[in-house]
Amino acid sequence: MAINEAKLNAFLGKAVVDLGAAMSAVLLSLGDELGLYREMAKGPLTSAELAKRTGTNERYIREWLANQAAGGYAEYDAASDKYSLSDEQALCLADPNGPVDLPGAYAIVQDLFHIKARALENFRTGEGMEWGEHHPCLFHGTERFFRAGYNANLLSSWIPSLDGVTAKLAEGARGADVGCGHGASTILMAKAFPKSEFIGIDYHEASIQTARGRAAEAGVRNATFETADATSYRQRDLDFIAFFDCLHDMADPAGAARHARQALKPDGNCMVVEPFAGDHVAENLNPVGRVYYAASSLVCVPVSLAKRGPALGAQAGQERLRKVIVDEGGFTRFRRATETPFNIVLEARP
């Protein structure tokens, strides 16, 4: 076998970067839980200063800071021996209300190692794994990571991209958030449109209980939450139904689409937010696709297969979703309303 040394070195260089990222995942989570990023966002600090402010041990903090700077997650000034976060780093690491919450994503990574033994068995047998069987860090991490995207996009671009939905909700309408999880999207819409009523629906009882608590904390009175699956909730004559990053996980996505079609008023709107993906594998062989294929292998596909579903996967693509929503689900109008680097936003109407 003839080895191309340049190609070998290039691959190993990439592999070392990935290995460093994997080994640093726990350190990123520690930085979040110990408040290290929040303190660094306030200004440059030595390891001793950061340790004092956070009640941590300086020797450990010294090593942690060097790791962060080596990976490009912090800035280091050799002259002062101080570390800091750039505005951009702070936005992603120290601001849970910002447009990207990276520590939330790393909570999802923690779950993937918790369920490794189960995943190994699933790969061998083809069996699945229900959402509720995962470690709770998956539920909290999903809420944090996706909430950031909702904060950045839902009210400013996603809902405005739909036909007449902003006006309906402003005047007073009835909406459902199917697969709502901890209710971040439901609560955000309820706060923005106080004249409308929203129902968050999820089949995971523990998540519904958390969503109710989140709504109470936020003082939201026009959002309620119900434990039900996507094909059995009772609400009818709805003006608006949303699926946020969940349709591809479902055991019966076509049934969920049919149920939504029946639950909507004739002039209603259905918004389906899905991970950004092209219709062919080759279009998704990029960093975003890599993240989604990983999550799909260990979370999305197993959830669907747990009930012998079609396992659309997180990279289903618009054409496959169109078949589910229109051909199998009964909607007659379907379009891509807008997109972000991480999501496509589809609108379906009766």
Q: How far apart are CA 19 and CA 255, in angstroms?
A: 41
Chain centroid, CA 29 distance in Å: 17
What value does the mean pLDDT take over residues 29-57?
Answer: 98
What value does the mean pLDDT take over residues 254-260?
Answer: 98
pLDDT at 178 over 90: yes
What sections of 34-155 are H helices per DSSP? 36-40, 47-54, 58-70, 87-93, 102-114, 116-125, 136-153
Please answer whether residues 182 and 204 qualify as being in contact, where contact means their C-beta atoms are separated by less than 8 angstroms.
no
* pLDDT at residue number 144: 94
Percent of the chain with pLDDT over 70: 100
Mean predicted lDDT score pLDDT of the chain: 97
* pLDDT at residue number 74: 98
Q: How far apart are CA 153 and CA 59, in angstroms?
A: 41
Instruction: Note if the pTM is more than 0.75.
Output: yes
pLDDT at 168 over 90: yes
pLDDT class of 97 with cuts at 50, 70, 90: confident
* pLDDT at residue number 96: 85
* pLDDT at residue number 1: 80
* pLDDT at residue number 23: 96
The C-alpha angle with vertex 96 and arms to 94 and 101, in degrees rounded to 5, equals 80
Q: How far apart are CA 44 and CA 56, in angstroms?
A: 17
Chain centroid, CA 18 distance in Å: 22
Q: Which domains does the chain have, with CATH numbers?
A: 5-93 (1.10.10.10), 154-349 (3.40.50.150)
Please answer whether residues 309 and 253 qualify as being in contact, where contact means their C-beta atoms are separated by less than 8 angstroms.
yes
What value does the mean pLDDT take over residues 170-178?
Answer: 98
* pLDDT at residue number 343: 96
